[in-house]
Structure 1
Amino acid sequence: MKNLRPFKEIQLQWLRLLVLDTDLSARAVQFATYLAVCRYNDKKGKAWPSHARVCQDFGLASEKTIQRLIKELDGKWFDIKCGNGLNHPTEYVPTKATHLAAQELREKEEAEKPDNIVRLSNAKGGHSCPKARTNLSSEPGQKCPPKKEKEKTKEKGACAPDLPNDWQTGDQRRDTLRAECPVRTLMHIALDETAKIEGWNLWLAQNGFPPLEELPVEERDGTRPGFLMPRRWVPSEPEDQDKVRRYLAWAMRLASDAA
């Protein structure tokens, strides 16, 4: 894996990718921006505001909203290590996937910048510039030419981190089906995250699906065994639940086509 730049160098690109993630609620985008801009410590590589501080800054009466936002961001935009009080606050580290995506976006922008090399005259050294002149006026004060308005350029769009590249198989039909995945970004649930897996298996049983172990959603990158799902936590909103059902139907159809 390529070396990652300090987060402060790619912070703007990271935020641009964040606001393009339509799967997040507006409050989750606000909270992630708050963590990245107001509370992130580049030397430590993380943010760790207490829940009391977050409630104070956001004017929240309860920490339940923070818990909901953590579920939205965990594993997708931040690797979150929950704390247990004032001495051990919750820690937020931008995920390597989003850090790398922002870094690649910045490198692309740097490559597309115009050439800034100063051309030298062939006859003699130095810059080729018109001689400076001062126009004298009988009126007091300085007289300067108006500044030309800079040409506006449209910012090129960028996409949030997509499905892993190793999901491409070379089989045109299967790759076409995989391109039809109804979820733009998948998150990893490790086998040792028993609380998340138990919650998902309960939700799956209630919605007529087999448990995670029997679904074709295994993690494919080989780093940590687990499962790929649209959320790390069981969704509570009807829209998110419908998205999970469509994703599972798609995954099962893909597995059936490969059999």
Structure 2
Amino acid sequence: MIGVRPFRDVKLQWLQQLSCEKDLSDSARSMALYIVTTHLNGHTEKAWPSYQTIADATGKSVKTIQRAVRELEVKGWFEVQRGNGVGHNTEYRPSAASILRASDAREKTDKIVTLYPDKGGQNRPARRSDVSSEGGQICPPNPEKEKINIPNPREDAPPRVETRLAVPLVFVAETKIGQVEQWRTWLYRQGFPSLEALDTRMLRGGKLGYVLPGYWPPDEASSRERESCAFFSRRREHIAAEQIRPRLVHTSRLSTYA
């Protein structure tokens, strides 16, 4: 056993084991799946959704969610640190024991089964077909089939046009300091300007905040990271174009008067 891996490396194994856990109620299982797939931060391995947020997303009552939290805590799936309800939601984190089980499962799946006789594993039989000395059966040529030339419709098809997928955006209030700071750090590491320079700030429901491609920055080398980079690249290109446009208009007017 190599020890505990980061949760983002064993997330698939953790979810597989959770889905096969017979002792969990459906409410606890659906709640755990929702937290891990929607709210869990890949760097801190923590999540802070409120009871009401989970209840609205899973279609359960708040009391059912509270019972599910206790069940997941007692059965060793989550470490739960309860908040005071005033700006501090309950904190959820996959337990060390559950991550260790997932790490063991990941280690087993990473092992390669060889196909060589001296190293174990299954090997194909050495026997060959009697029809050919090189193994396998050779069919005689069929002139009738060779005359038939069926065109491949893909050869005449127009080239594929790559479309941009829409990135789902969320609103992160300025009061969510931890989330906003992590996004600032992520942008800096990726070589992007600040949130303000990218013009992502807006007022929504009387609250100031930012429109972002997620509540938390994405994990490295994930599909969300590529989508987030594409979103901010388009924002940067749009802002650059907006800055160039007034200068072009001004230059055009000067050439008209000249």
TM-score of the two chains, using structure 1 as the length reference: 0.43
TM-score (norm 2): 0.43
Structure with more contact order per residue of length (Cα contacts < 8 Å, sep ≥ 6): 1
Q: Pick the structure with more helix per residue.
A: 2
